[in-house]
Structures are given as C-alpha cells and as structure tokens.
Amino acid sequence: MQYQEILLTGGKTNLGSIVRVGGTVRRPLNTNSTFVQKLLQYLENINFDASPRFLGIDEKGREIISYIEGDVPSNQEYYSDEQLIVAAKLIRRFHDATQGCELANNEEVICHNDLSPCNFVFIDDMPTSIIDFEMAAPGTRVFDLAYAVWLWLDIGNKEISADDQKRRLVVFTQAYGTSEMDLLIEVMTKRQSILIEEGHRRQKPCMVKWAVAALDWTTTHLKRLV
C-alpha cells in the first residue's frame, strides 16, 4: 500500500523536511543520526514508553521513526501547574532511564538538549511523549533541565509576572525532584548566552533578541532568589 507523504509542521527543527508516511515519520539523516538511533533503540529495549521507535532507513535514505499520535504545540503558551508537573516528571523519567547507560559515556545522563514544549506530544492537553531527539548527547541533568525550565515557563515573557514565574519555577523543579535552584538558574543563564552566540553565528536576529530578553529577565528577577 502506498501512503501519501504529509509534511509535518509542528516543532521547530528541520521544518519542510520531515514528513509523515502512514504510521511513520521520515526525516533526513544528520551527523548525530547514528547516536540517536542507538538511543531510541536503547529506550525501546528498556520499555521506556514516552519516545518514538527507530524503525530503519527507507529507500530515500531517510530515518524511519514511529509516529506518535497527539498534538504538538508550535508556539509558546502559558502552561498550567498540572501541565508543568506532568512535563517535569516526564523529563525526570527520561533522565533516570538514561543514567548510567553505556551511551552516556561516563556522563550523568543523556541530554535531549531541546526539551521545549514543541518537542512533546500532548494528549488531552497533557504532555505524554518526547520527540525530536536529533540533538541528544551525553551531559548533565541540570544542563537539560535548565533549558526545559526556560522554555516551559517562557522565561523572559514580560506578560508573566516575576512572582508568578518564581512560583511556577518551584512547581516545576519540585516535580522534577531537585532543590538545586542556584545551580539551575546559573546554568539557565549560560544556556541563554549560548543561544545568543548561536543566533549571531547563524545570523538570526530574532533568536538573538529572544535570548537576550530572556537573559536580562533571568538576571534581573530569578537571580535574586539565590
């Protein structure tokens, strides 16, 4: 049976090159593909149920990944406490699943490295699965978590008060199970600085503007917590 290729528009990376074919997703290979394939196979082998499965390479040389039914947000939103708690617990499960595995290569865990809501599948308005692992690499929990907090809380959004963001930060980190708030905020500023540099390097002024605003907000409001 010949399935039609349907362009997938959710998420933020490889836009225009990822398609759905029946119950699968087809995506181009990249320099990290071999590692990602091994990671997805590892997660399948340990019965981690919140990630897609690697199914091989198609006749066009593209990765075949299982398609996960649900909704993928395309824009930043204000997430409820319940959504934040579910997301944080899912991230913790992923990190716990990779801690000590051979692929971690003596690092603490495997980092997804882009734990934005745009890389989660939602069912009934709740995040249930993590997708788009193409940036995955060995690293530390806090490096991955700091970026997740930034994106899930939409740090830098001036329409959300500092008091509310501080409260939501506690909700998210407690759900994950960490009390290292000072380290988390410090790493968040480093990740924001990395995005600023990347934006300059890739000549993306919108990325630079967004990351600069987030860094300024974090430095002004969140660093006072520690």
* Res. 13: pLDDT tops 60: no
pLDDT tens-digit profile of 54-71?
A: 999 999 999 999 999 999
pLDDT tens-digit profile of 135-179?
A: 999 999 999 999 999 999 999 999 999 999 999 999 999 999 998
The chain-wide mean pLDDT, for the chain, equals 93
User: Cβ–Cβ contacts within 10 Å for residue 134, how many?
Assistant: 22
Is residue 5 very low, low, confident or very high in pLDDT (cuts 50, 70, 90)?
Answer: confident
Alpha carbon distance 81, 98 (integer Å)? 26
* pTM of this structure: 0.93
Q: Find all residues with CB under 8 Å of 84, minimum gap 6, and list them.
A: 152, 153, 168, 171, 172, 175
- How far from chain centre, in Å, is Cα 167? 22
Residue ranges with strand state E in the chain: 5-7, 19-21, 24-27, 54-57, 63-66, 109-111, 120-123, 126-130, 137-139
* Res. 131: pLDDT tops 90: yes
Strands 126-130 and 63-66: unpaired
CB 143 within 8 A of CB 187: yes
- Which whole number is the average pLDDT over 173-192? 95
pLDDT tens-digit profile of 50-109?
A: 999 999 999 999 999 999 999 999 888 999 999 999 999 999 999 999 999 999 999 999
Q: Distances in Å between the alpha carbon of 121 and those of 1, 58, 86, 154, 209? A: 27, 24, 12, 18, 27
CB 218 within 8 A of CB 176: no
pLDDT of residue 15: 53
Domain chopping of the chain, boundaries = 5-66, 81-225
CB 26 within 8 A of CB 60: yes
Q: What angle do CA 38, 40, 43 make, to 5 degrees?
A: 110
pLDDT of residue 76: 85
User: Cβ–Cβ contacts within 10 Å for residue 75, how many?
Assistant: 6
CATH architecture of 81-225: Alpha-Beta Complex (3.90)
- In the β-sheet with 54-57, what is the strand arrangement from edge to edge? 5-7, 19-21, 24-27, 63-66, 54-57
Is residue 4 very low, low, confident or very high in pLDDT (cuts 50, 70, 90)?
Answer: confident
pLDDT of residue 105: 94
pLDDT of residue 10: 58
